[in-house]
Amino acid sequence: MSLKRMILTLCGFYCVMGIMPLFFGGTDYIMNILIMILIWAVVASCWDVIMGFAGIFSFGQVAFYVIGAYASAILSVSMDIPPVFSIIMAGVITGLVGVLVGLPCLRLAGPYVALVTFAVHMTLVPFLRGPLGRAIGSGGSQGILTIPPIKLFGLAFSSDQLVPFFYLTFFLTIICTLVLVLMIKSYWGTAFLALKDSENFAASLGISAFKYKLMVFALTSFITGLFGALYAHYVGMLSTKMLSMDVFTILMIMMVIGGIGKYPGVVVGAVITVTLSQLLAPLGMYRPLIMGAIVVVLVLFLRDGIISPIIRLLSPLQRVVVEEE
């Protein structure tokens, strides 16, 4: 997709998102969904950049998200660091963990990467619940219950007042989305496309697969950790339930709906999936059952995600905008 089109689609989406609180600002239920859409849209975009563009089968996205959330929560609860700094530190920590996982992992062939990253995800649960996790302040199986809200210029952003928090998230989302778009369209993004098409040929042109993969791993895990931390300060409590397969599948449905490697697609996927999962929430334990079935059906029948049909529908409109410029 061309840069202009990508930016137009994203601009359209975020403009609509940005004016949403004017209509629904009073309804906490809808505001909560909107905030979660913003957070998940960025996390899913990071995954799409890793899987779709860099071609790394990373299954550790939820793990990075949780690492970021826990890192910020532990820093702000146990060490009294103000949340604004702890969120940034959590991003840096997650980025470092990403590099640590990536160093051995990215030399491996495709399915091994999936396995190792997924194993990291699975190991986080016993780690956070066990004595090691409790020693660093993860709260064991109970989790962390009193995470302070973000305070900035004397304003408190918390789940009590959703509209300010929405705009804080919105601001961060736009910055991170811009970074991702710039990355996809820069030399990096082109290098990834070349690596995906033919690794040997790309290597012969002097593109180091390992270097670029490690860099994208670090960048996406940094952003994911940042948003995990934001989420932690938003809900105010954390437990290892976030690592359940349920959450993982929701993230995966976003990718399948949006289409792997069709970048702005996952953003649309996030909107649909978060809304759907909130609507299905009263079903209790039948929700993951239905979610699992949805994944199977969507993977079978939805080949490229739904972004391509949407773009086709919107293209007359976009053409008008482009011509006016």
Site string for another protein, 263-302 (x = CB under 8 A): ----------------------xx-xx-xxxxxx--xx--
Which residue is associated with the tokens 């991170």?
Answer: 176
Under the binding rule (CB under 8 A), the answer on residue 257 touching another protein is no
- Judged by DSSP in three states, 238 sits in strand
CB 292 to another protein: min, Å: 3
Q: How many residues bind another protein (CB under 8 A)?
A: 46
What is the dihedral sign for C-alpha 72, 95, 254, 287?
A: negative
Burial of 169 (0-12, 13-18, 19+ CB in 10 A): buried
For another protein, which residue of 4, 27, 82, 126 counts as binding (CB under 8 A)? 126
End-to-end CA separation in angstroms for the chain: 19
CB 318 to another protein: min, Å: 27
Phi and psi for 157 in degrees, rounded to 5? Answer: -100, 110
Q: Do 140 and 74 contact (CB within 8 A), yes or no?
A: no
Alpha-carbon span 244 to 234, nearest angstrom: 20
Under the binding rule (CB under 8 A), the answer on residue 130 touching another protein is yes
CA nearest to 157, candidates 143, 171, 138 = 171
CA nearest to 268, candidates 53, 3, 54, 45 = 45
CB 247 to another protein: min, Å: 11
Stretch binding another protein (CB under 8 A), from 31-39, 66-74, 99-107, 226-234: 99-107
Under the binding rule (CB under 8 A), the answer on residue 107 touching another protein is yes
CB 304 to another protein: min, Å: 9
Q: Do 216 and 209 contact (CB within 8 A), yes or no?
A: no
When the beta carbons of 29 and 112 are compared against another protein, the nearer one is 112
Alpha-carbon span 308 to 298, nearest angstrom: 15
Biggest CA pair distance of the chain: 62
Which residue is associated with the tokens 């011509």?
Answer: 323
When the beta carbons of 106 and 219 are compared against another protein, the nearer one is 106
CB 263 to another protein: min, Å: 15
Under the binding rule (CB under 8 A), the answer on residue 127 touching another protein is yes
Q: What would you report as the CA-atom Rg of the chain, rounded to the nearest whole angstrom? A: 19
Under the binding rule (CB under 8 A), the answer on residue 109 touching another protein is yes
Under the binding rule (CB under 8 A), the answer on residue 129 touching another protein is yes
Q: Which residues, numbered 218-247, are part of the site for another protein (CB under 8 A)?
A: 245-246
Stretch binding another protein (CB under 8 A), from 9-17, 72-80, 122-130, 168-176: 122-130
CB 90 to another protein: min, Å: 22
CA nearest to 123, candidates 46, 50, 51, 62 = 62
Name the token pair of 29. 């239920």
Under the binding rule (CB under 8 A), the answer on residue 108 touching another protein is yes
CB 182 to another protein: min, Å: 25
- The residues binding another protein (CB under 8 A) are 51, 57, 59, 104-105, 107-112, 114-116, 118-120, 122-123, 126-127, 129-132, 245-246, 248-249, 252, 255-256, 260, 285-286, 288-289, 291-296, 299-300, 303
